[in-house]
Amino acid sequence: MNEAAAPAAGDLAGRVALVTGGRQGIGAGIARRLAHAGAVVVIGDLRAPDASDSVGRWVGLDVTDPDSVGDAMASIEEVEGRLDIVVNNAGIMFEQDFETHPLESWSAMVAVNLTGPFLVSRAATPLLKRRGGSIVNIGSIEGFSANPNHVAYGATKGGVHGMTNALAVDLGPYGIRCNAVAPGWIDTELNAAYVDAHPDRDEVVRQLARLHPVGHIGAPEDIGDVVVWLASDRSGFVTGQVITVDGGRLSRPPLPPIMG
């Protein structure tokens, strides 16, 4: 999506946003869009920034560690003095055969993808309650359907969607809205590596595009635009929703290749 299509600068002026896992991929696209809309962006990430990072202040954050999460919130309170928006984006994904799935890798996926948003949202709530605010969880279309060997990923993203509903109910009386975005195939570094590793990269790109009625895959900024809307007053009556951003992929049932 081009800059002209980005949310209006100033929609989030004066607000402070935390984006977990915001140094790359979808998280980086979200951070850029939030900053464009006027928010002060704090990037919570395990990795320290480098010269290529230009959006927001970095704070070290391990979403699986309650102490690290608490330290990040204390830093935000000390430096920014407020918190209005939390984007729970940090996540991991891997493929694993179900019958040989180690408990350790299952637990790791749950810790990052599901327990992480719980810990961050819980620790952020006292700051959000001061003025009201918005929590946006990044789920996935795999919270609705699954690719092969993605049992842990699908389970955690389905859990994120369910937690979104529950937080909307529990936090609504405090003026805190909670929604989720379920991305489809987005052009991130991770997905690009899968495509580039294929012997016929161009054919993979063509077939991926054909999966989507819009005719192309998404960009991180496509997710960022929806996050900005959910974080702004323009969506003030929207909470407890999971918004699918997938170029129509789930809306088109697949046909046999011979009929495609």
Q: Tell me, yes or no, whether 34 lies in a domain.
A: yes
Q: Is residue 197 part of a domain?
A: no
For residue 192, give Cα distances in angstroms to 16, 109, 210, 224, 238: 31, 21, 17, 19, 33
CATH number for 100:
3.40.50.720
- Partners of residue 81 on adjacent β-strands: none
Q: Is 205 a member of any domain? A: no
Query: Domain limits at 148?
Result: 3-187+219-247
Asked if residue 209 belongs to a domain, the reply is: no
256/22: higher pLDDT? 22
With contact defined as beta carbons under 8 Å apart, do 68 and 62 qualify?
yes
Please indicate, yes or no, whether the overall pTM of this predicted structure exceeds 0.75: yes
**Structural domains counted in the chain:** 1
pLDDT one-digit tens code per residue, 211-254: 889 999 899 999 999 999 999 999 999 999 999 999 999 998 87
Q: Looking at the annotation, which residues are catalytic?
A: 153
> Would you state the pLDDT for residue 1?
45
Neighbours of 200 (CB within 10 A): 9
Q: Is residue 206, in this structure, part of any structural domain at all?
A: no
Q: Is the predicted pLDDT of residue 7 greater than 70, yes or no?
A: no
Q: Identify whether 18 is part of a domain.
A: yes
Percent of the chain with pLDDT strictly greater than 90: 75
User: CA 231 from chain center: how many Å?
Assistant: 13
Tell whether 207 is covered by a domain.
Answer: no
**Mean pLDDT, the chain, whole residue set:** 92
Phi and psi torsions of 246, nearest 5°:
-140, 20
Residue 239 lies inside a defined structural domain of this protein: yes
